[in-house]
Amino acid sequence: MRERDEEWTGLMRSAISGDSAAYHRLLKAVVPVLRAAARRGLARAGQPVDQSEDIVQDILLAVHLKRHTWDVNAPFAPWLFAIARNKLIDSLRRRGRRVFVNIDDFAETIPGEPAAETASASEVAAQLQSLPARQRDVLQAIAIDSASIKDTAAKFAMSEGAVRVALHRGLASLTAKLREQ
């Protein structure tokens, strides 16, 4: 557990200093833990666990957009679990049940699920359709067609800077739409 936390903290530090590959690895590493906790939260609230992926994606977006509030000198796991807990409570509440989530739900989770498995969720995909065309196109190209920023710029005859802006705005408005729904 301690080793895992130190690895996450190291990856996040590299990510903050500009290493996108480290960031990618970190996000992939935390997903099984988040997924297990989301399932447990849903099960405890008596709700179908197949919605867990929506919660996982919601948490990932919040982690991404709020990562400037992480202190590089602090361990990463407590920060992550605080964000995750907040999002989990929020989405369970939105689904119509008042629940309390124990912080230990996250801390004690052992990723028992096969880590290679990737799951699909519907909420982000649905909100994606309501984004402005440019943001949606860029997000789709990068996320679904796994195009690079450069390829996406060429494909839509945009500058790379404009692609970056559209990508970030797209992610930010996705998050805002998820919160308002």
Of 33, 85, 91, 109, the one binding other proteins (CB under 8 A) is: 85
* Cα separation of the two ends of the chain: 36
**Token duo for residue 177:** 């739409």
Q: b/e per residue, 95-116, with b = 16+ CB within 10 A?
A: eeeeeebeeebbeebebeeeee
Please write down the HEC assignment for all residues of 1-70: CHHHHHHHHHHHHHHHCCCHHHHHHHHHHHHHHHHHHHHHHHHHCCCCHHHHHHHHHHHHHHHHHCHHHC
Rank residues 46 and 177 by Cβ distance to other proteins and give the closer one: 177
Residues of span 38-57 touching other proteins by CB under 8 A: 53, 56-57
Residue 124 host element (H or E) = helix 123-128
- The whole-angstrom separation of Cα 60 and Cα 68 is 14
- In the complex, minimum distance from the CB of residue 152 to other proteins, in angstroms, rounded to a whole number: 9
Rank residues 2 and 46 by Cβ distance to other proteins and give the closer one: 2
Of 118, 133, 159, 181, the one binding other proteins (CB under 8 A) is: 118
- In the complex, minimum distance from the CB of residue 87 to other proteins, in angstroms, rounded to a whole number: 9
Asked if residue 107 binds other proteins (CB under 8 A), the reply is: no
Rank residues 31 and 45 by Cβ distance to other proteins and give the closer one: 31
Return residues touching other proteins (CB under 8 A). 15-16, 18-21, 23-24, 27-28, 31, 53, 56-57, 60-62, 64-71, 74, 78-79, 81-83, 85-86, 90, 118-121, 124-125, 128, 139, 142-144, 146, 148-149, 164, 167-168, 171, 179
